[in-house]
Amino acid sequence: MLTALSIRDVVLIDRLELHFRPGLCVLTGETGAGKSILLDALGLALGRRADSSLVRAGAQEAMVAAEFAVESGHRALSLLRDAAITAEGGSIVLRRLLAADGKSRAFVNDEPTSVGLLRQLGDSLVEVEGEFAERGLFEPANHRAILDAFAGNEELSHLQRQAWRNWREAEAREVDAATALASALAEEDALRHQLAELDSLGPQEGEEDRLSARRSLLQNAERLAETLREAAAEIDGNAGALSALARASRRLERARERAEGFLDAAFAASERALAETAEARSLLEEAARTLACDPRELETVEERLFALRALARKHRLPVAELPALRDRLALSLAAIEKGSENAALLIRVKEEAREAYLAASARVTLSRKEAASRLDAAVAAEFAPLRLARARFRTVLSPKSEREWSEEGCERVQFEVSTNPGTPFGPISRIASQGELARFMLALRLVLAGTSAVPTLIFDEVDSGIGGAVAAAVGERLYRLGASLQVLVVTHSPQVAARGTHHWQVRKSEAEKSLVTRVEELDAERRREEIARMLSGSVVTEEARAAAASLIAAEGA
């Protein structure tokens, strides 16, 4: 609730400090005393449009600070957390400085901030109902949330919003999958051709290196064969190394028997040499057989090697990566086949999510319809005492087209009134007169008091154009409303003023050869005097004082 209001240099106000309390707070005073200036000043602190004409003549700057106390969990605290601004003990101070040139600065708890945040906070803390109201029950955009709060739809609305998000996410996944599948299908023929080409050639791991080595060998086969023949001739034959080593080994073996072990090592070495030479001969023979290949093998090897390299160039990658490319192409084609199945699955998931959203929305719609009937009846019950007996109020739920559906449901909600039988229904702000408008708002606010997230309501001239029993009924309802919310009312009605829990008088006084607005909280005696003035006019009589005392006593204030 609003706990304090500090104003400096706003129009006729030089310096003013006000402290407010819970309940029904009334502000009274003669016409032109400056009551509207108080609301304009408060509007500055709440982030409303700044006008340099509000700066007091001769002053360089106007200042307004409004202090609020809020309970934990209030939306304003969430806004502060998002803006990294602390609120010690649930206290929030909105401050606005307005220079004479029209430039303004905004502060929250002494932290510089934007006017936009100031307005968001102001809208969450105060609602002004009256001639200058810009938010609240007048605004059709708020009617759906107001009805949901009255219906107690918090849990149902949460499920509806979650179902909406699930549907949107499923739809996005289905669209992405369909787009990817369409792109893949457009490439399917090319992929299949490329895979067939690779399968036909059948590249193997490390094949290029093996073919290159074989090609090099085959290209040098003739020269290598000659070398092999020459090497074999040196080993084989009567004059070859193998025959010489065999003869040497036999001689050493005969002489070894007489050498008493002296030649054993030499004999062993000669045997090893003979064995190694024999193995060399075998290897030469094997190499010769290997070289004795099909004369067309070189051509075959080169054709294979060149085919591999040509395919690699086509795909712009090394030959060594052809096997991996083949695997990737096969996976892509498999993914296309699986993608078709997945796309069909995602379509089913999307449709199921849509049905879940429609089911959740149907539950919300039913709850809204039931709540609308209760709301209409409760508001209508308040009309007769407020001299609105011929008026009718209704809550209209209009289905939206599917493209207009949202996380808030499938219908729009609007409050409408008809002020006289036979006249068409229409939006409250367009159909009702100013006096009727204020009383419509009062009736609605009274019915909705238990659901309001805004702790402070301000009624400006709610008693315009009424008096007597109707004014008394307005006062009684404002008092009832003050039991659950802080209510500030600017009034000219003594019946309304008599209902106030707290009473302030707004008046003009002369200070340093200029008029200034003063606001004073009234004690019981001065309150009676002010209500007497409201009853009798400029000359307060004893009869008026007695009537004021009687009125206060009758209202139980």
**Phi and psi for 509 in degrees, rounded to 5?**
-145, 160
Residues 392 and 513 grouped into a single domain: yes
pLDDT at 164 over 90: yes
- Which class for 127: exposed (0-12), middle (13-18), buried (19 or more C-beta within 10 A)? buried
Split at pLDDT 50, 70, 90, the class of 142 is confident
314 and 415 both lie in a single domain:
no
**Together in a domain, 194 and 327:** yes
Question: What pLDDT shows up at residue 254?
Answer: 77
pLDDT value at 133 more than 60: no
DSSP conformation class of 54: G
Determine the average pLDDT of the residues in 357-363.
Answer: 96
Beta bridge partners of 553: none
If asked whether residues 280 and 408 sit together in one domain, one would say no
Residues 307-338, buried b or exposed e (16+ Cβ, 10 A)? ebeebbeeeeeebeebbebbeebeebbeebee
| Per-residue confidence (pLDDT) for residue 428, from 0 to 100 | 74
The answer as to whether 167 is a domain residue is no
Please state, in angstroms and rounded to a whole number, the distance separating the CA atoms of residues 419 and 137.
17
Q: Higher confidence at residue 344 or residue 341?
A: 344
In this prediction, residue 555 has a pLDDT band, given cuts at 50, 70 and 90, of: low
pLDDT at 293 exceeding the cut of 80: no
Q: Point out the least confidently predicted range of 8-22, 29-43, 124-138.
A: 124-138
237 and 329 both lie in a single domain: yes
Same domain, 22 and 101: yes
Last residue within a domain, chosen from 312, 337, 362? 337
User: Is there a single domain that holds both residue 325 and residue 386?
Assistant: no
Which carries the bigger pLDDT value, residue 20 or residue 287? 20
Report if residue 377 sits inside a domain. no
pLDDT at 449: 82
Residues 202 and 331 in one domain: yes
- Of the chain, the percentage scoring pLDDT greater than 70 comes to 92
Please give the C-alpha separations between residue 16 and each of 37, 125, 164, 483, in angstroms, as whole numbers. 12, 21, 51, 27
Supply the pLDDT for residue 552. Answer: 82
Distance, C-alpha 393 to centroid of its chain:
36
pLDDT band at 132 (very low <50, low <70, confident <90, very high): very low
Highest mean pLDDT among 25-34, 96-105, 255-264: 96-105
Asked if residues 477 and 469 have their Cβ atoms less than 8 Å apart, the reply is no
Among the residue ranges 376-380, 508-512, 525-529, the one predicted with the least confidence is 508-512
Residue 367 resides in a domain: no
Angle of CA points 279, 285, 287, to nearest 5°: 105
Domain's final residue, options 337, 372, 397: 337
Please check whether residue 426 lies inside any domain of the structure. yes
User: What average pLDDT does the structure give for the chain?
Assistant: 85
Q: pLDDT-based confidence at 131, cuts 50/70/90?
A: very low
Residue 172 scores a pLDDT above 70: yes
Evaluate if residue 3 carries a pLDDT over 50: yes
114, part of any domain: yes
Residue 135 pLDDT more than 70?
no
Please, are residues 455 and 404 in contact by the beta-carbon 8 Å criterion?
no
Least confident of 52-61, 296-305, 349-358, 401-410: 296-305
What is the length of the chain? 557
Q: At residue 205, does pLDDT exceed 50?
A: yes
pLDDT, greater one: 557 or 296: 296
Asked if residue 330 and residue 243 are part of one domain, the reply reads yes
DSSP codes, 371-402: HHHHHHHHHHHTTGGGT-TT-EEEEEEEEPPG
Q: Which of 337, 353, 369 is the last residue of a domain?
A: 337
Residue 353 neighbours by CB under 8 Å, 6+ apart: 163, 166, 167, 169, 170, 171
Q: Residue 69: beta bridge partners?
A: 91
Q: Give pLDDT, residue 557.
A: 47
Query: Does 497 score more than 50 pLDDT?
Result: yes
**Which residues, listed in sequence order, are joined to residue 207 by a DSSP beta bridge?**
none
| pLDDT at residue number 493 | 87
Asked whether 523 and 504 are in contact (CB, 8 A), the reply is no
Structural domain range at position 252: 177-337
Mean pLDDT of 450-464: 80
Strands, E assignment, 53-124: 61-69, 91-99, 104-108, 111-113
pLDDT tier, 134 (very low <50, low <70, confident <90, very high otherwise): very low
- State the Cα–Cα distance between residues 96 and 112, nearest whole angstrom: 10
Q: Measured between alpha carbons, how far is 150 from 141 in angstroms, rounded to an integer? A: 16
Q: Tokens in use for 167? A: 């549907």
201, 308 contact by CB (below 8 A): yes
What tens digit of pLDDT does each residue of 31-57 get? 777 888 888 899 999 998 888 889 988
What total of structural domains would you count in the chain?
A: 2
Greater confidence (318 vs 434) lies with 318
Check whether residue 398 and residue 452 sit in a common domain. Answer: yes
Strand (E) or helix (H) holding 298: helix 297-315
pLDDT in tens, 427-442: 876 766 666 777 888 8
Q: How far is CA 548 from the centre of its chain?
A: 56
Q: Considering the domain boundaries, does residue 478 fall inside one?
A: yes
Q: CATH no. for residue 390?
A: 3.40.50.300
201 and 288 assigned to the same domain: yes
117 and 22 fall within a common domain: yes
Indicate the pLDDT class of residue 238, thresholds 50, 70 and 90: low
**Is residue 137 included in any domain, yes or no?**
no
List pLDDT tens digits, range 242-280. 777 777 777 777 777 777 777 778 778 777 877 887 777
Q: Report pLDDT for 108.
A: 93
Tokens of 531: 């209500």
Asked if residue 7 lies in contact with residue 462, where contact means CB atoms within 8 angstroms, the answer is no
Report residue 513's pLDDT band, with 50, 70 and 90 as the boundaries. Answer: low
| Closest alpha carbon to 490 in 461, 515, 470 | 461
Query: Would strands 456-460 and 486-490 be described as parallel, antiparallel, or unpaired?
Result: parallel
Determine, yes or no, domain membership for 43.
Answer: yes
The confidence band for 119, taking pLDDT boundaries of 50, 70 and 90, is: very high
